[in-house]
């Protein structure tokens, strides 16, 4: 196995300070590159170790976010050949998450300690400007820099590509867009030039948009299994079934299974950053609690009428904001139920103690 440095894996001076401050120097340090139920593969500067949590760390975890995830730095102690115990999880610089699919008020961790979110869409049936805004929002929420990769441009002509790029430019500001083709390799060299050693890039996108093929191209290997394009559905087959962190010469990649849903959590900051123009214009509304429906003096309605705000952009903003508010209210209700339950338990315990005498 090729020897690399911790810096190549993304280890920073802040992590080193945490290590010293918390007396973790006696443990080895590594990064979680693969997670499967309660087992983890941790990559160090010299090895890859099958790892599990010590009991204290497992039982003290209040929720899923307290447990390691792909991208986390951990303190480990090797106890057998290629086996180790995880004793501590280092603080996360960033946490990329979404609302858990099918669960009312739970989040799902996508990956941690990410620097850039590479949002991959193909120009055929997968393309959706609304979904792009959703991915950008979860990146903004996590303080991660979003980058758009528009794949499979060999399937359309130059005029069609120009229309797509203008559509993105008109709706999405201040996000770099890289049109590429894994098939003809057009645009790949320009995309490769943005990657930096020690930085972590998370690939985001639906199934079949070419993320696995892109990883093989960027790493100049055949690490990832790829699927042929289906003529019936006009997209590649879904091949990635888990999250995995891959270290290569020019950085670190996190691959993800395709996401069919990108649900909003209760963090408003990401939406505010993504739809900054809308929020800025809304400050000119006559009423501070304006719903932007039919109120007099509504700056948003005026901007929509004048064409200063794109109607589809505003509709997508409203939908995502409704999701966020619903998640927030559900979370508040769940917390209150927890408080009520805790109060009831304390009362029952006090009653039992009183009845003893």
Residue 272: predicted pLDDT: 74
What sign has the CA pseudo-torsion 300, 305, 306, 312?
positive
Residue 231: predicted pLDDT: 44
For 11-58, how does the pLDDT look when each residue is reduced to its tens digit (9 = 90+)? 999 999 999 999 999 999 999 999 987 899 999 999 999 999 998 888
In this prediction, residue 101 has a pLDDT band, given cuts at 50, 70 and 90, of low
Beta strands in the chain, from DSSP E residues, in sequence order? 28-36, 39-43, 48-53, 73-80, 83-89, 95-99, 107-112, 116-122, 145-151, 177-179, 200-204, 229-230, 235-236, 244-248, 251-255
pLDDT at position 268 over 80: no
Taking residues 333-337, what's their average pLDDT?
Answer: 53
Model confidence, pTM: 0.76
Helices 158-171 and 129-141: crossing angle, nearest 10°? Answer: 40
């Amino acid at each position: 196995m090729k020897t690399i440095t911790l810096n190549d894996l993304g280890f920073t001076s802040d992590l080193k300070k945490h290590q010293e401050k918390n007396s973790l120097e006696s443990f080895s340090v590594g990064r979680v590159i693969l997670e499967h139920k309660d087992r983890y593969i941790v990559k160090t500067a010299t090895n890859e170790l099958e790892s599990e949590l010590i009991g204290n760390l497992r039982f003290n975890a209040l929720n899923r976010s307290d447990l390691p995830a792909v991208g986390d730095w951990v303190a480990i102690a090797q106890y057998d050949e290629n086996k180790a115990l995880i004793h501590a999880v280092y603080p996360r610089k960033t946490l990329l998450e979404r609302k858990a699919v099918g669960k009312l008020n739970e989040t799902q961790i996508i990956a941690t300690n990410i620097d850039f979110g590479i949002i991959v869409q193909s120009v055929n049936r997968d393309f959706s400007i609304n979904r792009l805004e959703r991915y950008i929002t979860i990146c903004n929420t996590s303080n991660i820099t979003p980058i758009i990769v528009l794949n499979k441009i060999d399937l359309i002509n130059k005029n069609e590509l120009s229309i797509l790029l203008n559509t993105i430019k008109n709706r999405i500001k201040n996000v770099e867009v890289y049109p590429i083709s894994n098939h003809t390799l057009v645009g790949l060299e320009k995309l490769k030039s943005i990657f930096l050693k020690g930085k972590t890039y998370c690939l985001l996108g639906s199934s079949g948009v070419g993320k696995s093929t892109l990883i093989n191209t960027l790493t100049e290997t055949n690490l990832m299994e790829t699927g042929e394009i289906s003529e019936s559905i006009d997209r590649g087959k879904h091949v990635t079934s888990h999250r995995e962190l891959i270290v290569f010469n020019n950085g670190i990649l996190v691959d993800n299974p395709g996401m069919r849903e990108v649900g909003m959590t209760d963090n408003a900051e990401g939406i505010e950053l993504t739809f900054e123009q809308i929020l800025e214009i809304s400050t000119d509304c006559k009423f501070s609690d304006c719903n932007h429906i039919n109120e007099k003096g509504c700056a948003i309605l005026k901007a929509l009428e004048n064409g200063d705000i794109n109607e589809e952009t505003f509709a997508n903003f409203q939908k995502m904001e409704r999701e966020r508010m619903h998640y927030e209210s559900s979370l508040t209700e769940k917390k209150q139920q927890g408080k009520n339950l805790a109060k009831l338990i304390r009362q029952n315990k006090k009653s039992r103690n009183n009845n003893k005498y």
